Amino acid sequence: MGTFLFDKTIFGPIKSRRFGDSLGINLLPNDYKLCNLDCVYCECGWTLPPNHKIELPSYEEVAEEFENYLIKIKAEGVNVDSFTFAGNGEPTVHPEFPRIIDLSMALRDKYYPKANVAVLSNGLLINKDGIREALHKVDLPVLKLDAGTDKTYHLIDRPKTKRSLEYLAEHYKKLADKVVIQTLFLRGEYKGDKFDNTTEEEVSAWIELVKKINPSDVMIYSLERDTPTDNLETIDADKLEEISQRLQKEGVKASVY
C-alpha cells in the first residue's frame, strides 16, 4: 500500500513504454487526487469525499507554465514524443479542458510538431459534447474499459452512477477510428467483494464490447505501482498475452505493456 501524486502541473518528459518521451500535463490539484471514479487500483489513492474544497490551476496559469516549460526544454534540446494528459485524477473534469486541449495542440505545433497529444481518460464524461469534441481533436484519446460486465466494472472502477459499459461503448464509438482502449486486468477483493476481469465470462464480454467500439489500438496491462488497498493481484504476462492474441484474432490491434 502507498500511493503517488505528481507535484507539478507540467512535468517530465518521463520515459513511458506506451508514449515514449512523455511530457506530462496534470490539470488536477498537486496535493490530492480529483476524479469521478474511485478505482480500487488507483496509484493516486482513494478519491476524496465530494465536499473537499477543490482548487484547480486556471487556464491562464496552465498556459503560462506550459509555454515557459516548453521554451526551457526546447532550448536544452530535450526530446518529446508525446504531450500526455494524465496526473492526479481525471483530466476531463477540469472546467477548461476543451480550451486547454486547443492550447496544447497549438503549443505542440509550435514547439514539437512531431509529438502526439494524448489524453488518458476514464471516459465517463464522453457524453458531454464539448469533452467528446476535445477528445476527438487529439491524436490519441486513450479511454478506459476495465471489464466486460457491468458488475465487475462497478466493483473495480466504482463509478457513483449506474453508468453501463454498453453506454460507454456507444459513446466511445463516436470517436471513430481514433479511439484507443486501455484495460487494466487484475483480480482481488475489496470490502468483501471479489472481482476478476480475466475470467472467461469477463474476457468474452470485453472482446465483444471492444469489437463494437472498433478502436485503432488496445493497450493491455496489469498492476505495476502501489495501490490504495492490499488485496489485489497482478496478472502475469502470459495471461495478458493470451488475451491480446484473442483480440488480435478478431482483427483488433492490441499490445501488452
In angstroms, what is the minimal distance from the CB of 96 to ligand SF4? 19
CB closer to ligand SF4 out of 54 and 106: 54
Q: How far apart are CA 168 and CA 127, in angstroms?
A: 8
Tell me the three state secondary structure of residue 247: helix
| 117 contact partners, CB below 8 Å, separation of at least 6 | 82, 83, 85, 101, 104, 105, 108, 138, 139, 140
Contact set with ligand SF4 (CB under 6 A)? 35, 37-39, 42, 44, 89-90, 122
In angstroms, what is the minimal distance from the CB of 42 to ligand SF4? 3
In angstroms, what is the minimal distance from the CB of 15 to ligand SF4? 20
CB closer to ligand SF4 out of 6 and 112: 6
In angstroms, what is the minimal distance from the CB of 69 to ligand SF4? 22
Q: Which residues pair with 234 in a beta bridge?
A: 186
CB closer to ligand SF4 out of 67 and 150: 150
In angstroms, what is the minimal distance from the CB of 25 to ligand SF4? 14
Beta strands in the chain (DSSP E): 10-16, 20-26, 82-86, 116-121, 140-144, 180-190, 193-196, 217-222, 232-234, 254-256
CB closer to ligand SF4 out of 12 and 87: 87
Q: Which residues pair with 16 in a beta bridge?
A: 20
CB closer to ligand SF4 out of 69 and 153: 153
